[in-house]
Amino acid sequence: NVQLYGPTNFSPVINHVAKFAQVYQTDPSNYFVLLIITDGIITDFEETKGALVNASSLPMSVIIVGVGNEDFSAMEILDGDNGRLQSNGQLAKRDIVQFVELRKFVQSGQGWNKALLAKAVLAEIPSQVCSWMKSNGFNPRPRT
């Protein structure tokens, strides 16, 4: 059993992973994916938006999985599917967030659909990696 509790602050962990990504931003063989599992509404929403906008030029993606029955509508803003995220007038360089609500994959009496959940969680990672590589002038290595 995992006990989740608040406050729910995302910006410290995003900034922490961004420091690692910053070290490797000239190396196309390193890309970071941060998985955040949350049962609550973000308590540092504005700081989180700022951290994500700042990290949007780095080799990283953030996957957020919402568990429980909270209202996760604010997470859709972070996802960037309906327009690029912005903070303090600065636009994100690219979309680096994928938000998925776990409850959408729970089937009544049958548990949860792991395959569909995995597909949704990882859906944007390939395009996010490619957009980062393209924006930084990196080309895929030829197959050997």
Percent of the chain with pLDDT over 70: 98
- Mean per-residue pLDDT, 62-66: 95
What is the structure's pLDDT at 10? 95
Q: Say if residues 121 and 79 touch (Cβ distance below 8 Å).
A: no
Decide: residue 100, CB within 10 A, 0-12 exposed, 13-18 middle, 19+ buried: buried
Q: Tell me the β-bridge partners of 86.
A: 91
Flag whether the pTM goes above 0.85. Answer: yes
Q: What is the pLDDT of residues 107-139, one digit of tens each?
A: 777 777 888 999 999 999 999 999 999 999 998
